[in-house]
Amino acid sequence: MKLTTDLPITPSQLPSFSSGIIVILLGMMLFMAYRLYVHNRRANYRKLILSLGLCFLQQALELALAVKLVPANSAMTFSSNTLYVLSFITLNFAIFELYHKSRPRTRAWYYSLLGICLAISVSAIFTGTSGLERIWEGTNLFSPVLDVFMLLLSPLFALMFAPHMGQPKRYMLTLMISFSLQAFVLLGHFQKEDIAFYETMRLSLPIIYYVLFFMLLFERVVELLSTAYRSSITDGLTNLYNRRFFTGQMERALREGNPVGAIFCDIDNFKKLNDTQGHHEADIVLKQAAQILMEETDGIGLAGRYGGEELVAFVSQGQFSPAQVAENIRARIEKETIVTVSVGFCLGRKGTSAEKLMKMADEAMYHSKKSGKNRVTDFSSLAHSSVV
């Protein structure tokens, strides 16, 4: 009996398989880049789309060459090689600019490297006696200078960008794969034996390279979208939740049926602090008070900034008394900052709106303010209070 082994992919199918996988990966990365650009139309997102578009075009050309949709002459193969170098340069600068703003020196490096790549490619086409006729021949147009240039780009980017990346290890790994790939490409040009091995490495390593880049880009996109969402629901100065998000969360807690204790704080004499010590010192105090509110409500509720020097919180865990939380906030602000706060609180249940609950807590705070400041008032203790 003769045993045969059927490989899922034959050597002749490897070029089209490699390019097909990479085209799919680049398509997903292009979609992520487009979503980033739609969410925030920044120039670095346009550069990312451009770089991925160049990568996509180069791999689409490789796929077309593999399945013989275009003639495999020097014009096509050399165009693909040049596109690969251009896309590699643009992609690395685009990834770097996802972490840092573009500066004049960075732009100078970017355009210089692009210019060098194009100059090498043009010189490779026009050198020799046969001129433009060579690029339509069936043999490949080989430029060792362009290949060496591509080889040197990986260590250059490792020195320029890797220390400043948010994912330095993963980024370094992509550059190592790229360097290895280009080394195999160069060796394949000069090796007479075992050409199949170098060709297999040339077609396999790009898949690993783009998978790693996909992971790097995906993690960064998640970070950017999370940051954008966080900034849309928080106050930029104090990092407390803004009024809209805070009110929405309180409404949700009330609908769930648990008792909700609303706490309203107003920093005493804040305008005087602004006038006498300046906005910078007032901002420091505001951030200190906000930090105390966050710490006291951590795990049991939520803290927010209602506006100006008005800080709010709610407690939705039944085992924690809003009166005690309010007193803890007041006492800590008095002890740990240079200001005091007037505090009011009110307990609400299902059926009470968040707006109504905050108005009652605000009224209790106003009573604290009128009766001497730096104290806590329960809305239910007021003579004209109504049952919630």
* pLDDT score for 137: 53
pLDDT of residue 4: 42
Residues 341 and 278 sit within 8 Å (Cβ to Cβ) = no
Which amino acid type is present at position 180? S
User: What's 243-381's CATH class?
Assistant: alpha beta
Supply the pLDDT for residue 130.
Answer: 47
Contact 343, 246 (CB under 8 A): no
User: What is the per-residue pLDDT across 196-249, written as a single tens digit (0 to 9) for each?
Assistant: 777 788 788 888 999 998 998 888 888 887 887 888 899 888 999 999 999 999
- Domain 14-233 CATH (choose: 2.30.30, 1.20.1070, 3.30.1490, 3.30.70): 1.20.1070
**Residue 354 C-beta-side C-alpha neighbours within 13 Å:** 20
Q: Which amino acid is at 278?
A: G
The helix (run of H) or strand (run of E) holding residue 344 is strand 341-348
How crowded is the C-beta side of 260, counted as CA atoms within 13 Å? 31
For position 192, what pLDDT does the model report? 62
Residue 92: alpha-carbon gap to chain centroid: 16
Alpha-carbon torsion 220, 222, 226, 232, what sign?
positive
Which residues, given as ranges, of the chain have pLDDT below 70? 1-13, 71-75, 126-142, 191-194, 318, 383-388
| Structural contact between residues 245 and 233, judged by C-beta atoms closer than 8 angstroms | yes
Return the H-helix or E-strand segment holding 302: strand 301-307
C-alpha–C-alpha distance, residues 199 and 190, integer Å: 12
Cα separation, 65 vs 45, whole angstroms: 30
Give residue 383's pLDDT: 58
Instruction: Kindly list the domain boundaries of the chain, sorted by start residue.
Output: 14-233, 243-381
pLDDT of res. 384: 58
Q: Nearest Cα to 64, choosing from 109, 111, 23?
A: 23
What integer pLDDT is reported at residue 140 of this predicted model?
A: 58
Q: How far is 115 from 6, CA to CA, in rounded Å?
A: 47
Strand 376-378 with 341-348, pairing: parallel
Contact in structure between 92 and 44 (CB atoms under 8 Å): no
Is this prediction's pTM over 0.85? no
Phi, psi of 183 (to 5 degrees): -65, -40
Model pLDDT, residue 146: 86
Can you give the pLDDT at residue 12? 60
**Tens-digit pLDDT profile for residues 106-150:** 999 999 999 999 998 888 776 654 444 554 454 555 678 888 899
pLDDT at residue 3 in the model: 40
d(C-alpha 90, C-alpha 110), whole Å: 8
Fill in the DSSP letter of residue 70.
S
